[in-house]
């Protein structure tokens, strides 16, 4: 269907931010694998923790936040089965910074293997409208660029 | 970031299979909108019901099924907010049939508006390996092709 | 462990409010049954819809609501397996109205059988503190009393 | 509604098994608190990990397991709000061992406070029927008895 993923995407060290996550019993589907929705939650959790570390909590994550990082598009690729009860690790790196949007590249690792990839397009908004990413936010993202 | 979606993707009548789904209280996130994971569940539910209608239940959906329809890639695009407590409708159409894979095009409608799009690449497998889509399965899919 | 449930709790007609819910593919656990968390979601969804019908939406369900119905205790009893893809129906009736709290009795039906029971203790709060249930709210609950 | 919880239930050291769990972004509800379903998942995850440590994995947790620990009744009590992003800790102790059933007492701690309690009645089954808890399983549970 699609070209195989670029090799650097499969390596944990390409991702400046990494979050370990325990799999949970309820993550298992009918086949005993971690289900796709749980995988989606792992990526979301890692995006949230990434943003909490990189951006200012008060401006981004409270109900009265000035900014909101809106997910506008997400692509998830399933490379191998992910299983309970082993933990997973999600890697996150910024692969592109635009005017009001940026792209997060993510990977899911279990027992040393890359079992999934995710690309998320985020848009910075204020009151529901896209807004220019401020210089300081841009700067905070620089150390988080995906490594090749 | 990306070109606007093609107009026919935004019309309910393009999708031969349509599933109404009630939103649930627990689908709401911090902002009072239906959260992204719930949206992902709506698409998954529609894919499952679509497959149950189109394919043979015993061969595809039991623990001893010969075939398994594996999701290998999914892209979700968020076009507008989706809210509780209004119901949603998910449209499903087949946009491409390959040798062992096929692509499902999906759309999420609420109150007459298209609030999201989803493209899912499925691969037919037997014992974990991709396998040729049999002629009768292919035939069953033909009336389900996405309309333009 | 415990006495068998009173017979009237097992009859759909004991519950003045009833909500049909479609089971979803993702509700299935490792054993192919609807998992306990999904069952908990069914009860929660029915409580929310019940409250939306019985109480005033603006005062109870918006972010600026005066009142909040807080769940303080919930007991769920699993009587039989619940399965995908058959729909379920959740029955809700009020079994007790106190000063600031009330008890909702719930039952889960599938294919005509009662597969689970739930008892939820709700407390009416304003700004996080229990408050007297107003006369009009009390009146709205009266037709919703569990029938014996 | 109910007597206040016995003091020993509120102390982490009463529980011989303790599992730290990270809260996740998607656990938040409309009010910014960890929602009730997520709390239910925390308890379930702790029960699963407890059982995996105490019981034999192959006999209890695989698809071909001889035994199945079936949850027949669960009561959850919400004592205080639980919030993202602080982690929680779930305590688990056995409070009663019967012939074919046993009771797990659970508590949810966040920032040193007990924010919830849970009591789960489990029944040991083989092929869907309750069965006598074998002596060795009983022995494995003894060090896991709730402390007073």
Q: Which chains border A (3 or more CB–CB pairs < 8 Å)?
A: B, C, D
pLDDT of residue B55: 86
Which residue of C25, C32, C41 is in closest CB contact with B44? C25
Measured between CA atoms, the residue of chain C closest to residue A33 is C30
Name the minimum distance, in Å, from the CA of A48 to any CA of chain D: 6
What is d(CA A120, CA A43) in angstroms, rounded to the nearest whole number? 9
Residue in B2, B71, B98 closest to A36 by CB: B71
Q: Is the pLDDT of residue A39 over 70?
A: yes
pLDDT in tens, B89-116: 999 999 999 999 999 999 999 999 999 9
CB atoms near residue D50 (< 10 Å): 24
Instruction: Over range C84-111, report the average pLDDT.
Output: 97
Of B49-53, B61-65, B107-111, where does the model show the most confidence?
B107-111
CB contact under 8 A, A49 and D21: no
What angle in degrees, to the nearest 10, is found between the helix axes of D36-54 and C36-54? 160
Whether C24 contacts C42, CB under 8 Å: no
DSSP, res C145: B
Distance CA A67, CA A74 (A): 20
Residues in A touching C29 (Cβ below 8 Å): 26, 28-30
C73: β partners: C121, D77
Say if the Cβ atoms of C26 and A29 lie within 8 Å.
yes
Q: Mutation test of the interface with chain B: which of C45, C86, C120, choosing the one with the most B Cβ atoms within 10 A?
A: C45
Which range in A46-50, C51-55, D133-137 is most confidently predicted, on average pLDDT?
Answer: A46-50
pLDDT tens figures, A97-127: 999 999 999 999 999 999 999 999 999 999 8
A37 touches chain C (CB under 8 A): yes
- Judge whether D129 is closer than 8 Å to chain C, CB to CB: no
- What is the rounded (10 degree) CA torsion for A60, A61, A65, A70? 60
pLDDT in tens, D13-23: 999 999 999 99
Asked if the C-beta of A101 comes within 8 angstroms of chain B's C-beta atoms, the answer is: yes
Instruction: Please report the DSSP string for chain D in residue order.
Output: --PPPPGGGG-GGG-SEEEEE---GGGB-TTSBBPHHHHHHHHHHHHHHHHHHHS-HHHHHSTT-S-EEEEEEEEEEE-S--BSSS-EEEEEEEEEE-SSEEEEEEEEEETTEEEEEEEEEEEEEETTEE-PPPHHHHHHHGGGBPP-
Question: Which pLDDT score is estimated for A61?
Answer: 66
**3-state secondary structure at position A68:** strand
- What integer is the mean pLDDT of C87-112? 97
pLDDT at D112 over 80: yes
Average pLDDT of B10-14? Answer: 97
CA distance C80 to C138: 34
Per-chain mean pLDDT for chain A: 92
- Altogether, the residues listed in chain D come to a count of 148
Separation CA B140–CA A117 (nearest Å): 32
- Choose among C104, C103, C147, C121: nearest CA to C12: C147
pLDDT over 90 at A30, yes or no: no
Q: Once rounded to an integer, what is the mean pLDDT over residues B13-38?
A: 93
For chain D, the straight-line distance linking the first and the last C-alpha, in angstroms and rounded, comes to 24
Q: Do A30 and C29 touch (CB under 8 A)?
A: yes
Q: Is the CB of residue B79 less than 8 Å from the CB of residue B6?
A: no
C78 beta partners: C116
Query: Closest partner residue to D45 among A24, A47, A52, by Cβ?
Result: A24
Q: Which of D21, D25, D41 sits opposite A48 (nearest CB)?
A: D25
For chain C, the average pLDDT equals 92
The whole-model pTM stands at: 0.93
Better pLDDT: D56 or A40: A40
* Chain D nearest CA to C17, separation (Å): 22
CA distance A67 to chain C (A): 19
Confidence of residue A56 (pLDDT cuts 50, 70, 90): confident
Decide: B80 and B115 in contact? Cβ < 8 Å: yes
CB C71, CB D78: distance < 8 Å: yes
User: Is the per-residue pLDDT at D100 higher than 90?
Assistant: yes
Question: What is the rounded distance in angstroms from the CA atom of residue D75 to the CA atom of residue B40?
Answer: 30
Which stretch of A67-76, B23-32, B52-61 has the lowest confidence by average pLDDT? B52-61
CA B62, B53, A41, D41 dihedral sign is: negative
Whether the CB of D121 is below 8 Å from some CB of chain A: the reply is no
* Residue D117, CA distances (Å) to A14, B22, C146, D9, D49 in order: 42, 31, 27, 8, 18
Give me the pLDDT at residue D139, please. Answer: 93
Which chains touch B (3+ CB pairs under 8 A)? A, C, D
Phi and psi torsions of C124, nearest 5°: -80, 125
User: Please, how many CA atoms are within 13 Å of residue C55, restricted to the half-sphere of its CB?
Assistant: 23
Q: Name residue A94's beta-bridge partners.
A: A104, A145
d(CA D52, CA D45): 10
Nearest residue in chain D measured CA to CA from A38? D26
Cβ of A76 and B78 within 8 Å? no
Taking CB atoms and an 8 Å limit, are A24 and D44 in contact across chains? yes
Q: Specify the pLDDT at position C67.
A: 86
- Minimal CA separation from C20 to chain B, in Å: 10
Distance from the Cα of A28 to chain D's closest Cα (Å) equals 11
Three-state secondary structure of chain B: CCCCCCHHHHCHHHCCEEEEECCCHHHECCCCEECHHHHHHHHHHHHHHHHHHHCCHHHHHCCCCCCEEEEEEEEEEECCCCECCCCEEEEEEEEEECCCEEEEEEEEEECCEEEEEEEEEEEEEECCEECCCCHHHHHHHHHHECCC
Residue D21 touches partner A, C-beta closer than 8 Å: yes
Share of chain C above pLDDT 70, in %: 95
Q: Decide: C51 and C58 in contact? Cβ < 8 Å.
A: no
Nearest to A94 by CA among A143, A53, A44, A41: A143
Question: Who among D28, D37, D63 is closest to B29 (CB)?
Answer: D28
- For strands A129-130 and A113-126, give the pairing: antiparallel
Residue C15: its H or E element = none
pLDDT band at A59 (very low <50, low <70, confident <90, very high): confident
B73 at interface of A, judged by CB pairs closer than 8 A? yes
Residue D29 is predicted with a pLDDT of: 86
| Residue C61 phi, psi (nearest 5) | -120, 0
Mean pLDDT (whole number) for B23-32: 88
- Of residues B36, B71, B77, nearest to A44 (C-beta): B36
pLDDT of residue A63: 66
User: Residues, chain C, total?
Assistant: 148
Q: How many CB atoms lie within 10 A of CB D148?
A: 11
Under 8 Å between Cβ of B19 and B46: yes
pLDDT in tens, A63-87: 677 888 899 999 999 999 999 999 9
The average confidence (pLDDT) of chain D is 92
Q: Are A83 and A22 spatial neighbours (Cβ–Cβ below 8 Å)?
A: no
Using a CB-CB cut-off of 8 Å, the residues of chain A touching B1 are: 72-73, 98, 101, 121, 123
> Which of B30-39, B54-63, C102-111 is predicted least confidently?
B54-63
| Residue B137 and residue B47 in contact, taking contact as beta carbons nearer than 8 Å | no
Adjacent-strand bridge partners of B94: B104, B145
Q: How far apart are the first and last CA of chain B?
A: 24
């Amino acid at each position: 269907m699609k070209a195989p993923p670029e090799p650097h995407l499969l390596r944990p060290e390409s991702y400046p931010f990494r979050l370990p996550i325990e799999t949970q019993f309820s993550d298992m589907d009918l086949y005993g694998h971690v289900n796709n929705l749980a995988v989606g939650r792992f990526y979301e959790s890692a995006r949230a923790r990434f943003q909490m570390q990189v951006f200012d909590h008060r401006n981004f994550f409270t109900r009265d936040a000035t900014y909101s990082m809106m997910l506008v598009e997400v692509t998830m690729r399933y490379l191998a089965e992910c299983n309970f009860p082993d933990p997973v690790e999600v890697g996150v790196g910024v692969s592109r910074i635009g005017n009001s949007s940026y792209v997060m590249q993510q990977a899911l690792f279990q027992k040393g293997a890359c079992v999934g990839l995710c690309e998320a397009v985020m848009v910075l908004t204020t009151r529901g409208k896209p807004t220019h990413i401020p210089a300081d936010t841009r700067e905070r993202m620089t150390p988080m660029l995906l490594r090749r």
